[in-house]
Amino acid sequence: MYELHEYPEYKWAMAIDIEACNGCSACVAACYIENNVGISGPQEHLKGREMSWIRLEPYVIEKDGMESMEFVPMLCQQCDNAPCESVCPVLASIHNSEGLNIQVYNRCVGTRYCANNCPYKVRRFNWFDWVGWPEERILIDNSVIYGGQPLGDVSNPAVTRRPRGVMEKCTFCIHRIREAKDRAKDENRKVRDGEITPACAETCPTDAIVFGNIKDKNSRVYKLSQEKGAHRILDHELNTKPSVYYLGKKG
């Protein structure tokens, strides 16, 4: 059903330490800011129209009569066998040579098949036109929700703002990947381990998120992926082959 992908030089991956994550949501806020993610507001969120590219899933753990809380950051898993790609009728959801699930906004016609087929529920549909936001205000239910100056001064010019009717999701901060690759090419070298840090990892106060090239066996992300207890969510059940590894309790 899925073609075999080859990655000649890079395959980007992420390792997330669940034990280190304290649920502060700094990664969520950083992703909103870095990627110009629209803020739909509480009323739209109740309709299932949330826009965040990363969410924190809370779990209550009971052991020896004691309860504790764990948080699992959930974002696009950049699957090798991506269920979203196989159902897109216009090839707007495709795989690139570095292991990323690319969303081509100009091709997308908004069928939402990809969102329905994603077992991680991390793909977002633009119900409103965010192209002029935050400089322009967004009207939802005939009321001003967000936007206008000075918010227009904080948008990231490196990231395209998505129009109404298209899907969007986490990109592993692909604009940062491209910047690092261009810099490495100019210096006639490969991208160094740790040279690329997505916004979520950069802002994490506990260093719970590590990013890198998993083809490099000396990289942090590769070594973490090989640790005992490292696992990929739903990989065993669905064979999606995610690029995000979660590290469980140590010991």
Question: For the segment 18-29, what is each residue's pLDDT rounded down to a tens digit?
Answer: 999 999 999 999
Helix (H) or strand (E) holding 199: helix 199-203
Helix (H) or strand (E) holding 61: strand 55-63
Helix (H) or strand (E) holding 174: helix 174-186
Bond before 89 cis per omega within 30 degrees: no
> Given the structure tokens 């009569």, which residue do they identify?
65
Residue 46 is predicted with a pLDDT of: 86
Residue 126 is predicted with a pLDDT of: 93
Residue 144 is predicted with a pLDDT of: 55
Residue 148 is predicted with a pLDDT of: 55
CATH topology (fold) of 12-247? Alpha-Beta Plaits (3.30.70)
Q: What is the pLDDT along the chain (251 residues), one digit of tens a residue?
A: 677 888 989 999 999 999 999 999 999 999 999 999 988 778 888 888 899 999 999 999 888 888 888 999 999 999 999 999 999 999 999 999 999 999 999 999 999 999 999 999 999 999 988 776 655 666 665 555 555 555 555 788 899 989 899 999 999 999 999 999 999 999 999 999 999 999 999 999 999 999 999 999 999 999 999 999 999 999 999 999 999 999 987 64
Helix, strand, coil share of the chain (percent; to 5):
25, 20, 55
Single-letter amino acid, residue 171? T
User: How far apart (Å, rounded) are the C-alpha atoms in residues 55 and 72?
Assistant: 8
Residue 247 is predicted with a pLDDT of: 96
Q: Phi first, then psi: what are they for 224, rounded to 5°?
A: -70, -35
Dihedral sign of CA atoms 10, 76, 221, 27 in order: positive
> Given the structure tokens 């991506």, which residue do they identify?
82
> Given the structure tokens 């995610």, which residue do they identify?
242
Task: Write down the pTM of the prediction.
Answer: 0.90
